[in-house]
């Protein structure tokens, strides 16, 4: 079970990644922006689903825990649009980091939208603050 201090630290990291994604998008560094958006989402999912059962979260493992909505009380139905957006962001991050593709402003904008919506969902559900992020 994640203690309050650990949750605050991880939440700060998620928000830091989101802010970095915004700043790098403004600079035209879209590959970097997509990567930071993805890690904002990854860390927000970690805050939501709690510590990994053993060792560390894998990317598919944390997504499989987050996507079904069982981390919310009462459990929420699967949001297919959100699930698809997170998968697209993950795939864009793979293209940016491992395929050498040059991503575009549309890619970084989509990543920022997915990150913002995920952060807002987790914040709303868990009662966390999201200073500077608007719905």
Residue 130 is predicted with a pLDDT of 81
Q: Which of 8, 30, 5 is nearest to 20 (CA)?
A: 30
Domain ranges of the chain: 4-126
* Contact between 51 and 103 (Cβ < 8 Å): no
Model pTM score: 0.94
Architecture of domain 4-126: Up-down Bundle (1.20)
Q: Which residues of the chain fall short of a pLDDT of 70?
A: 132, 134-135
Write the CB contacts of 7 (distance below 8 Å, at least 6 apart in sequence). 47, 126, 128
CA-to-CA distance for 11 and 132, rounded, in angstroms?
14
- Report CA torsion sign: 70, 77, 94, 102: negative
């Amino acid at each position: 079970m994640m203690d309050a201090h650990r949750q605050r630290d991880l939440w700060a990291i998620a928000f830091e990644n989101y802010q970095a994604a915004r700043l790098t998008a403004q600079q035209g560094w879209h590959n970097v922006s997509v990567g930071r958006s993805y890690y904002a989402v990854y860390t927000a999912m970690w805050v939501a689903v709690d510590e990994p059962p053993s060792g560390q979260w894998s990317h598919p493992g944390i997504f499989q825990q987050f996507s079904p909505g069982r981390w919310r009380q009462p459990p929420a139905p699967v949001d297919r649009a959100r699930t698809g957006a997170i998968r697209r962001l993950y795939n864009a991050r793979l293209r940016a980091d491992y395929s050498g593709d040059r991503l575009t402003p549309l890619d970084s904008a989509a990543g920022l939208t997915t990150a913002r919506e995920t952060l807002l969902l987790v914040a709303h559900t868990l009662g966390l603050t999201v200073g500077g992020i608007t719905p």
